[in-house]
Amino acid sequence: MFSCLLLPPVLAFPLFSASPTYNAPIPPGLDSTETIATTLQTWAASFHYQPEDLLPGSRGEENHHNPIRSYISHSFWEIAKTLGWQSFSRDFVMRLGNNGFTPDILLFLGPPRNTLREYYLEGPAEMVIEVLRPGHEYADRIIKRDYYAAGGVPEYVILNPARKEIEFWRLINGKYEGMAPDPSGCYRPQSVPGLVFLPNNLWREDEDWYRWPHDPPIVYIEGTQPEGRRLREVENGLGWGCLPFNPQLQLEPVPISFEQYISWCPEAKFEFWDGKPQIGGKEGIRNLIGMLLMTFGLADALKVLSPVEWVSALLETETLRQQDAQRKAVWWDLARQAATLLRSKYGVTRLGVIGDLVKPEPLNFWSEITLVVWDLPDRKGYEIYQDLSNLSQEPEINLIEAESKYATLAQQQSISQFLVEI
- Residues 245-264, mean pLDDT to the nearest whole number: 93
Amino acid at 5: L
Residue 44 or 258, more confident: 258
Fill in the amino acid letter for 156. Answer: Y
Q: Is pLDDT at 205 greater than 80 in this prediction?
A: no
Q: Where residue 326 falls among pLDDT bands split at 50, 70, 90?
A: very high
Q: Which residues share a beta bridge with 151? A: none
Confidence of residue 61 (pLDDT cuts 50, 70, 90): low
The DSSP code sequence of 9-59 is HHHHTHHHHH-TTT-----TT--SHHHHHHHHHHHHHH--------GGGS-
- Mean local confidence (pLDDT), 289-293: 93
Tell me what the mean pLDDT of segment 327-351 comes to: 96
Averaged pLDDT of the chain: 86
Task: Give the three-class secondary structure for 138.
Answer: helix
φ, ψ for residue 258 (rounded to 5)?
A: -60, -40
Q: What is the pTM of this model?
A: 0.84
Closest CA to 9 of 36, 30, 27, 29: 36
Nearest 10 degrees: Cα torsion 226, 231, 234, 239: 160
Query: Measuring CA to CA, which residue among 411, 316, 410 is closest to residue 373?
Result: 411
CB 25 within 8 A of CB 388: no
Task: Say which amino acid occupies 64.
Answer: H
In this prediction, residue 25 carries a pLDDT of: 65
pLDDT of residue 319: 85
DSSP 358: G
Residue 2: per-residue pLDDT: 42
**pLDDT confidence bin for 389, thresholds 50/70/90:** very high
Give the N- to C-terminal CA distance of the chain in Å, as an integer.
Answer: 32
Query: φ and ψ at 29, to 5 degrees?
Result: 95, -10
Residue 353 has pLDDT above 90, yes or no: yes
Going by C-beta distance under 8 Å and a sequence separation of 6 or more, which residues neighbour residue 26? 13, 14, 16, 17, 36, 39, 40
- What's the distance, CA 32 to chain centroid? 38
**pLDDT tens digits along 182-201:** 999 999 999 998 999 999 88
